[in-house]
Structure 1
Amino acid sequence: MIPLNTGKIGLKNTFFLGSKIFLLVFFLCLFNCKKEKNETAEIKQTPNSEEVKLDLKSLIDDCESQLEISVPKLTDLTKHPRLIETDSTEWEEVPNNRLVWTSGFYPGILWYMYDISKDEKWKQEAIKRTEVFEDFKTITEHHDIGFMMFPAYGKGYELGEKKEYKNILLTSAASLASRFNPNVGTIRSWSNKMHPRWKQHITIIDNMLNLELLFWAAKHGGDKKFYDIAVKHAETTMKNHFRDDYTSWHVLEYDSITGAVLNRNTKQGYADDSRWSRGQAWGVYGYTMVYKETGDKKFLDFAQKLTDKYLSLLPDDYVPCWDFDVASDPNEEKDASAAAVVASALLDLSELVEDKKDQERYYNAALKMLESLGSYKYSGVGKADAFLLHSTGAKSLGHEIDVALIYADYYYIEALDRLKKIKENGKI
């Protein structure tokens, strides 16, 4: 026999059970809506090419006009232009010494202008500015020999038909390869004397760009190990240097014996765990180049993941803040150099991917970046001798803040040269 109060208790339990189910469903819906909203925020709508007002000829003409102004002023062959301070109009020059990583970019700019214009005067100027640091081919003190030699001698070989540069480049590649540690699987970037914060094997994300020298050398008569070292470095960096969301750390310190990761830090970003925008740019460019050289689809897939993450973090003008984690503060400076690096990489990537939608998406994003960089806001025309203003080299170190940087100009003119060839070939 069922007691009379059992029905009341049953009804009460049913009521509370129904309430709990309702609340559970409500919170699940709320969570899913928020999740969908956050995931949607990760997808940035890239413009159509018709929406981008890009006059390529005008941008190229602007670069040539800027060189017409600056080159006659840069007559000291023992120095190279590095930056233009915010309140200045002319390039500040620094000595061509073995520790200054930026020396190759100015001759590289001249080689690209020769390639674009076919004007012999730019070739002669490029030769003059390239051949002053042949002795740098034996640099083993750091990894930047790739940055120093390939934009100068490499572009001279490729764009200027200077085949006599081959042996210089092969020696440079051997010097870079000497810094590879097989226990770690990467090329050591800096010396600990230069950067005493770290005690063992240091590798920075920038180092991905130096692999181009090794790939070139392996294809032009150099040791096969150059190719193997470049691939191994790319694989190890892909494994250790990126977060789960495909953003990059700047500096990794490895145990030089075991290869274990000891620390993940930054030198130029806002904080050790922040997302330094040019670091992400080096990754986008680096893995696009590695896929171009190897044809290994794992590198293409990774390049696309890095690129898509980078694009999702950009503001409306496609030129990032110097660090993505301070971008919400309107007083924080931009970094046009990161935009120039990625614009150039995206033009390559747009030709490497197979999916038509991805081709158009990356191509149109590159156009948008170049449109912004060539606009009055970022262009140096009429304001200073550089192509681009508003780059940030190392705000965390207190210098090169909101300035013109020579490597921003280099990757910008490289992007214009690549775009010109794409248009001429009718590939997209």
Structure 2
Amino acid sequence: MAIPREVPCEAIMESLADGVFTVDLDWNITFFNRRAAQITGVPQAEAVGRKCWEVFRSSVCDGACVLRSCLESDLPQGAASIYFVRADGDKVPVSVSAAPLKDRKGRVIGGVETFRDLSEVQLLRRKLDGRYSLEDIHGKSPALARALEHLPQIAASGVSVLLLGESGTGKELFARALHNLSARKDGPFVAVNCGALPENLLESELFGYKAGAFTDAKKDKPGRFQAAQGGTLFLDEIGDMPLALQVKLLRVLQEKTFEPLGGTKSLPADARIVAATNCDLEDMVGRGRFRQDLFYRLNVARIVLPPLRERTEDIPLLTDLFVNRQNLLQGKDVAGPDEDVLRILLSHPFPGNVRELENIIEYAFILCPGGLIRPAHLPEYIRPVEGAVPSPAPGTLEEIKRRAALAAIERHGGKRMAACRELNISKDTLRRILARASGA
């Protein structure tokens, strides 16, 4: 069916579910549809007239630009998966296509690019296959930055790693990131909670057993060491492992072999060990509750995960992440927390850390039908007592942003562009954060 002549092309592009923008030959944006504004977080009026790389700051702006390629070849370019950095600093995965824009005489006057937000697709894919990467560890606080500083190098080294942190700080997420950033990323990632099973069951779970090893052993059962061959074995709550089993684990780490229960033949133990605990292992070593030699075997590289109360700057970002995730999983359209809820979250000590924040948002979705999450939607234990004087929050959201920005500038010796790169924000965004927070 032909499109009626009275329907302008701009109206059609405004109705599309994909982002669309056009540029002239000087790379100035000449059109920016409503969906493009939603995905990028940049209002249409602010985008038009600016250079495209100022708006998108994508992973290909410094080289393999799809739009530049299509203009140089005078040919449309098919879908390519890239990411760009939103105005608020978040990375957004997108699929882009581009084509030359020509006038009626066939002369190239610019280019047009369409892009589709792949965030929901990636989230569903990761949820289905259980894979995580460094990008799934969300936050920009200095405390988290210190924990992440050497993670890629540690992952690539292949050594044993000890993750220390309170319950709920995301130790398994870090363990999966270590696996996915290592040479073993194509191998299995196998997790065992050492505190969830009694000693005899934990031993058979780790090493497996042969048929006839005990009364109910009707057939061979491989253990987690065998399942993790060529990959990573994550030993969570290692501080709860009984001393007798610690001796056997130490022997495996030293000899790189193990024997299933009831077996007579040693099998190779080709799995990288990542251990985690919320216990003070050095104190346990001093009290004879954890073997010193095993501690040193596990503690080749150590990463300390900060509790959420030490990274309050990340609470708004994590809250948005969990709201978006629940919207996707439950098919709702919750906008996020209102100012009162955000103030409550910023003042809460979070003894359960990131896991507690995620549970709070999940509970809020039970009561919140849509729109803003309000205090009445929160679990009772976190709601302020009626009539009580609210405890002071650690600053407004703008103040938190300003503190994070100033800390980044200080870390880079006053170099603002270096701070922008660390925070994944533009120079204009940094200037606005500092100006708003100072009242300018």
TM range (shorter): under 0.3
Looking at CA atoms only, which structure, 1 or 2, has the larger radius of gyration? 2
Higher helix share: 1
Higher relative contact order (CA 8 A, sep 6+): 1
TM-score between both structures, scaled by the size of structure 1: 0.25
TM-score between both structures, scaled by the size of structure 2: 0.24
Higher strand share: 2
